[in-house]
Amino acid sequence: MPIQPERLAKTFVRLCEIDSPSRREGPVAAFLKGLFATEFRAEILEDNSAPFTGSDTGNLVVRIPGRGGGLPPFFCNCHFDVVEPSCGVKVRRHGETFTSAGATVLGADDKAGIAMLVEMARCLKEDGRLQSPLEFIFTTCEEVGLLGAKNFDFSLVRAASGYALDSAGLDLAVVAAPAANHFTVDVYGLAAHAGLHPETGINAIQLAARAMAELPLGRLDAESTANIGVISGGKATNIIPDLVTLEGEVRSHDHDKLARYTQAIKNSFQQAVAGFGPPPPSAGPPRGAARIRFAAQEQFPAMKLNPGDHVLQLLSKAAEQLHRRLDFTVAGGGSDANIFSAHGLPTAILGTGMTDVHTTDESITLTALVRTTELLLTMYHVSQN
């Protein structure tokens, strides 16, 4: 049977109206467990990632058996969680466009992808053309640092490559995404009364500002970006602040550039502190000098697919059958695909047609839902040849 657009729409709305903010994805996981067990007699596995992510559920692996013995599975991935504000979602439909009816996000990121996978499986079952097994991986805590994927039990995967349905845009595939480092800088000064003895203090906020003034931020080159997005410090206006903490990130498609730019940020803070000098001597004992503590860790590795990779060849053949022109693009953000690819599971990211993601203006059309599901089905059929 062909895709049933209204059934697809109903599934999508139902998913959006199940609360699933990061770390509270249990209700949507339970809904999908029931659906896949009832309709497909699927094998459903839950990994032991919850103690590490803080979620109320683990990642799920759903295996829907096919009729062709020994054929490799067709793998797809979506994430359960939705950015805030995401509780109490009510979906409003204007013709074929879906939006949130209230002050929440819609949740098309990533429930549009989940709805497409459900419709895809239903169509294959109804057509009697389910030859290769389907292998769906649903992750938790993607929106708070890809935590589900980072703690996923990869021994549960049987597929060799696949697709993550997690990008804006339509008829689009992301073939490369950057690596990212998250860094924290603690700048330590010396506290003093700002009105009585300001000369005995070292203002940590001033030190941090000097360092930031020398930093290149934003787009560093065609492959790299940097940002400081969180600053906290100080206790009161009459106290010279002795500590300010900054958090930021560096992203690059080039590993050497990522390391170099991260080190440059550290150097800038070290130089600002070294050039400030200790406060002048006072009647009391020496009170020390300014210093920093810098820590950086990888958020996610880079992802880069090659034109000859099976996932892209299959995608190109499916697009040719559908007489579509696909946009193969390079992204600036990370996703579960970065983690899967780093574990030897090359994963292309498909655009689902969602727009204005991570805002309360988020929307998607039924045409986009159907169109991407058609692409998935065609890829599946091409893979059987």
Same domain, 203 and 131: no
Last residue of a domain, one of 231, 266, 299: 299
* Distance, CA of 324 to CA of 375 (rounded, Å): 10
Provide the number of structural domains found in the chain.
2
pLDDT at 310: 93
- Output the pTM of the full model: 0.91
User: Which domain does 219 fall in, by range?
Assistant: 179-299
Clarify whether residues 242 and 377 are in a common domain: no
Both 280 and 367 in one domain: the answer is no
Q: Which residues neighbour 45 within 8 Å (Cβ) at sequence distance 6 or greater?
A: 60, 61, 63, 156
Beta-carbon contacts of 232 under 8 Å, excluding residues fewer than 6 positions away, are 244, 245
CA 280 – CA 268 distance, rounded (Å): 24
Q: Which of 299, 327, 358 is the last residue of a domain?
A: 299
Whether 163 and 21 share a structural domain = yes
Query: Whole-number mean pLDDT of the chain?
Result: 94
Q: Tell me the average confidence (pLDDT) per consecutive run of 10 residues in the chain, 385 residues long.
A: 93 98 98 97 97 98 88 95 97 97 96 98 94 96 96 96 96 96 96 90 93 92 96 95 97 96 95 78 65 95 94 96 96 94 96 96 98 97 89
**261 and 210: one domain?**
yes
Q: Residues 168, 192: one domain?
A: no
pLDDT tens-digit profile of 5-49? Answer: 999 999 999 999 999 999 999 999 999 999 999 999 999 999 999
Phi, psi of 158 (to 5 degrees): -105, -25
Q: Based on the domain organization, do 9 and 149 belong to the same domain?
A: yes
Predicted confidence at residue 46, as pLDDT, reads 98
Mark whether 204 and 337 lie in a shared domain. Answer: no
- Regarding whether 122 and 185 lie in a shared domain, the answer is no
**Same-domain check for residues 148 and 187:** no
| Catalytic annotation, residues | 81, 142
Per-residue pLDDT of 325-381, as tens digits, reads: 999 999 998 999 999 999 999 999 999 999 999 999 999 999 999 999 999 999 999
- Give residue 185's region: left, alpha or beta (phi > 0; psi -120 to 50): beta
Specify burial of residue 219 (Cβ count, 10 A radius: 0-12, 13-18, 19+). exposed
CATH code of residue 35: 3.40.630.10
Domain end point (choices 250, 275, 299): 299
- Rama region for 171: left / alpha / beta (φ>0; ψ in -120 to 50; rest): left
Residues 294 and 339 in one domain: no
Q: Are residues 203 and 115 in the same domain?
A: no
